[in-house]
A and B are shown apart, each in its own frame.
Chain A
Amino acid sequence: QSALTQPPSASGSPGQSVTISCTGTSSDVGGYSYVSWYQHHPGKAPKLMIYEVTKRPSGVPDRFSGSKSGNTASLTVSGLQAEDEADYYCCSYAGNNYWVFGGGTKLTVL
């Protein structure tokens, strides 16, 4: 199984929207609704932001949203804020109790 493909970087100005893609295959992203997104500030524990493609855990701002089309999932951050600057990782179930992560996207708030 290969890692999911994410762009290495993304950026936007405060208040703008940014979308991060996560491309897999029909064996992972395209085959299951168990895609999640994690926000990671270096030195800290990763934080769950989106699960089951579109759902937000309690406490996560509604500025964060998720979607999926075919083998590609996306995370959109609307109304960018300075504290959104972090690394973001997608993750998908790949069957047979196997999980695969993306390579990560560094989001910069300009």
Chain B
Amino acid sequence: QLQESGPGLVKPSETLSLTCIVSGGSITSVNYYWVWIRQPPGKGLEWIGNIYSSGRTYYNPSLKSRVTISVDTSKNQFSLSMNSVTAADTAVYYCARLSAMPRVFDIWGQGTMVTVSS
């Protein structure tokens, strides 16, 4: 299971920080990547980026300059940091597991709503 946590309200220009706790399995399991995906209100899903347990990351080019995904294997969790947020970053943020074979997002968290507002 995956469970997101973090502040529900972030001020413009500040940094959004979320954590995803992985339970029922190890974040170091081979063949899995750990992912952040978001959904702005009334819009579709947007892939933010992946991280492997080794720390190797892959980011959506449109967000790459503002996003950092990190992993803490000792706590079996991974995190998202997004700086210089604006109202356009208001969204439900999901963490998910990406299986390498087959290549699917096979487990998702329930999602957490983050609002960017002063």
Contacts and interface: CB of A to CB of B under 8 A. Distances in A.
Q: Which of A99, A101, A103 has the most CB of B within 10 A?
A: A99
Contacts of B87: none
Contact of A101 (B47, B61, B102, B103): B47
Interface residues of B, number: 22
Interface string B98-118: 100011111011110000000
A47 B107 CA distance: 8
Interface of A: 1, 3, 6, 34, 36, 38, 43-48, 51-52, 55, 57, 89, 91, 93, 96-104
Contacts of A98: 47, 58, 60-61
Contact of A52 (B102, B109, B111): B102
B111 A45 contact: yes
Contacts of A97: 50, 58
A1 to B, nearest CB: 7
B47 A51 contact: no
A99 B106 contact: no
B93 interface: no
A95 B71 CA distance: 23
Contacts of A91: 45, 105
B46 interface: yes
Q: Which of A46, A48, A52 has the most CB of B within 10 A?
A: A46
A36 B44 contact: no
B44 A3 contact: yes
Q: Which of B58, B62, B103 has the most CB of A within 10 A?
A: B103
Contacts of A52: 102-104
A45 B109 contact: yes
Contact of A46 (B61, B62, B94, B102): B94
Contacts of B111: 45
Given A101-B44, A104-B45, A93 B103 contact: yes
